[in-house]
Structure 1
Amino acid sequence: MNKDIYFTREYAQVNELIENGKSLYYEIKSRHGHITLGAIKREIDTPVDGERYYDLITPYGYGGPVIHECTNLKQLLSEFQECFTRYCRDNNIVSEFVRFNPLFQNQEPFREMYDVSYIRNTVGTDLECSEDTFQSEFCSSARRKVRKLLRNDKISCTLTRGFEDIEEFLEIYNDTMTRQHATGFYYFDREYFYEMKRQFGDDLFTTSVYYEDEIIAMGLYFISGNIIHDHLNGTRSKYLNFSPAYLLKYTAMNWAKENGFSVIHYGGGVSNSEEDSVLKFKKRFSNSTEFKFHIGRKIWNQEVYDRLCRMTGADTETDFFPAYRANDGQKKKVAV
Structure 2
Amino acid sequence: MDKNTSITWLNLDDRTDCATYEKYWEESEHKRPHDHPGFLELVRPEHFQPAAVVCQHAEDARIIYPFFHCSVNSFLPFRDVRQSWRHLVSPYGYGGALFEGKVEHMQAASQAFECLLDQELKERHFVSEFVREDIFPARLARRAQGEVDQQPNVLVKLDRSPDEIWSNYKHAVRSNVNRAMKSGLRVAFDPEGEHLDSFLDIYYQTMTRRGAAGSYFFPSERFRQLAFSLGKRKATMYAHVYDQDQIVSSELLLLSHDTIYSFLGGSLASAFAKRPNNLLKHEVIQWGGRNGYKWLVLGGGLAPGDELFRFKQSFDPDHVVPFTLRRIIHDPNAYRFLEEVRREHEHRNGRCWLPVPGFFPRYLAPVENQQDEGNEELRRSGPQ
**Superposed pair shares fold, TM > 0.5:** yes
User: Could you tell me how far 1:51 is from its partner in structure 2?
Assistant: 3.1
Q: Does 1:269 align with 2:301?
A: yes
Aligned counterpart, 1:324: 363
Aligned to 2:82: 50
Q: Secondary structure at the match of 1:233?
A: strand
Tell me by how many angstroms 1:83 deviates: 2.1
Helix, strand or coil for the counterpart of 1:321?
coil
Partner of 1:4: 32
Aligned-pair distance for 1:86?
2.7
Does structure 1 residue 278 correspond to structure 2 residue 308? yes
Give runs of aligned pairs for residues 240-319 of structure 1, distance below 5 A: 240-272=272-304, 274=305, 276-313=306-343, 319=358
- AA aligned opposite 2:96: G
Instruction: State the shift of 1:91 in Å.
Output: 2.2
**Does the 8 Å contact 1:61/1:99 carry over to 2?**
yes
- Equivalent residue for 1:145? 176
TM-aligned CA distance change 1:81 to 1:125, over 3 Å: closer
Task: Name the counterpart of 1:210.
Answer: 242
**Which residue pairs with 1:126 in the alignment?**
157
Whole-angstrom distance in 2 between the partners of 1:66 and 1:116: 17
Provide the residue aligned with 2:256 in structure 1: 224
Question: Offset at 1:230?
Answer: 0.5
Q: Structure 2 CA distance, aligned partners of 1:271 and 1:325?
A: 21
Displacement of 1:262 in angstroms is 0.8
Q: CA deviation at 1:48?
A: 6.9
Residues 225 and 319 of structure 1, relative CA distance in 2, 3 Å threshold: same
Residue 114 (structure 1) aligned to one of 146, 160, 176: 146
The Cα offsets for residues 189-232 of structure 1, whole Å up to 9 and x where unpaired, read as 11221122222112111111111111111111011111000111
Local SS of the residue matching 1:125:
strand
Matched, 1:239 2:271: yes
The one-letter amino acid of 2:251's match is: G
Query: Contact conserved, 2:162 with 2:286, CA < 8 A, in 1?
Result: no
Residue 306 of structure 1, CA deviation: 1.7
CA gap 1:320/1:177 in 2 versus in 1, 3 angstroms: closer
| 1:84 maps to 2:117 | yes
Structure 1 gaps of 5+ residues are none
Q: Deviations over 1:152-181 (max 9, x none)?
A: 34x322112232211111111111112222
Cα 1:10–1:173 shift into 2, 3 Å: closer
Flag the 1:286–1:36 CA change in 2: closer, same or farther, 3 A. Answer: same
Once residues 324 and 140 of structure 2 are traced to their aligned partners in structure 1, the CA distance between those partners, rounded to angstroms, is 7
What secondary structure is seen at the aligned counterpart in 2 of 1:109?
A: coil
Number of aligned residue pairs: give it: 328
> How big is each residue's C-alpha offset from its partner over 1:245-287, in whole Å with a ceiling of 9 and x where there is no partner?
1111111111111111111111001113x2x121111112122
Percent identity between matched residues is: 23
Q: Is 1:93 matched up with 2:126?
A: yes
User: C-alpha distance in 2, partners of 1:73/1:194?
Assistant: 38
1:8-59 CA-to-partner distances (Å, cap 9, x unmatched) read: 444334322x454111111111317211111111221214742332101111
The structure-2 alpha-carbon separation of the partners of 1:148 and 1:188, relative to structure 1 and needing over 3 Å to count, comes to same
Where does residue 22 of structure 1 map in the other structure?
49
Q: Which runs of 4+ in 1 moved over 6 A?
A: none
> Structure 2: which amino acid aligns with 1:97?
F
Shift in alpha-carbon separation, 1:161–1:246, aligned structure 2, 3 A: same
Which structure shows the bigger proportion of residues in helix conformation? 2
Q: From the superposition, tell whether residues 56 and 290 of structure 1 become closer, same or farther in structure 2 (CA, over 3 Å).
A: same
Identify the residue that residue 166 of structure 2 maps to in structure 1. Answer: 135
Q: Deviations over 1:97-126 (max 9, x none)?
A: 01111123556711x233233x22100211
* Structure 1 position 320, deviation (Å): 2.8
**Partners of 1:195 and 1:144 in 2: how far apart?**
38
Q: How high is the TM-score relative to the length of structure 1?
A: 0.89
Q: Which runs of 5+ in 2 are unaligned?
A: 1-28, 344-352, 367-374
- Which is further off, 251-260 or 83-92? 83-92
Which of 217, 227, 240 does residue 197 from structure 1 map onto?
227
